[in-house]
Amino acid sequence: MLDKTGTTRTALITGASRGIGLACAQALASAGIRVILAARDAAKLEAASAAIPGSTWVTLDLSSQESIKAAFAQAGPVDILVNNAAVTKDGLALRMKKDDWDAVLATNLTGAFLAIQQVMQGMMKERWGRIINISSIVGETGNPGQANYVASKAGLIGLTKSLAQEIASRNITVNAIAPGFIDTDMTAVLSDQLKQNMLAHIPLKRFGKPEDVAAAVKFLASEEAGYITGAVLNVNGGMYM
């Protein structure tokens, strides 16, 4: 994908060393976008980047403002930001430790916001940008035992809608994607019984793949999606409508 000067657009994807983030990087690269993979594990990033021609990578810890600033300084100008990285520290609210609450909100919501701050000025100057926040179906439905994670993902939706209104005049779109049950390392640890219970509530009768989410990201990053902003795109097989 080229900008108005014929220069290749650049996308930075957080949590890009595996799962949904890696699939997003692959999909955007297939569209001719230069991709920068960002995550905490340098070894995994190097291996992932080696399989995507023309890509680069930066280490990034979204729980650290210093790490965020350093990563984006190394990355340079970013036209497309995909806020995908997330952590979980599940537990019933009655017994949830404040440290577990703080850790999840710091990475999933505050970290995403700080990453957006790093790219906003450049996008506003260029009068073009795409910010895509990966929320979750539970940010819309709630989920017992995940008060911290749900709050962070619901917060991303609110952040998306507020920023969409703030910077739309600069031709920058801000959208969210809310995946349902996607087959990733994060969901692999769930019991077979829980998976079967969830499958019963999915009209399409299958779990999603990282590529399903990546296809939505690729669309929202495109020129064709230029009149879509402040939206929440559900990629959940009909699990929540």
- Residue ranges in the chain whose pLDDT is less than 70: 4-5, 186
Residue of 72, 101, 128, 149 marked active site: 149
pLDDT of residue 190: 79
pLDDT of residue 7: 82
**E-state strands within 43-163:** 56-59, 80-83, 129-134
- Encode pLDDT of 143-164 as tens digits: 999 999 999 999 999 999 999 9
Active site residue 149: yes
Residue located via tokens 């795409």: 130
**Pairwise CA distance, residues 81 & 134, whole Å:** 11
Quote the mean pLDDT of the chain: 96
Q: Crossing angle for the helix pair 147-167 and 111-126, nearest 10 degrees?
A: 20
Six token digits for residue 66: 């210093």
pLDDT of residue 28: 98
pLDDT of residue 127: 97
Domains and CATH numbers, the chain: 10-233 (3.40.50.720)
Which contacts (CB < 8 Å, 24+ apart) does range 197-205 have?
Answer: 198/239, 201/239, 202/236, 202/237, 202/238, 202/239, 203/237, 203/238, 203/239, 204/237, 204/238, 205/237
**Pairwise CA distance, residues 223 & 185, whole Å:** 32
**Pairwise CA distance, residues 145 & 129, whole Å:** 36
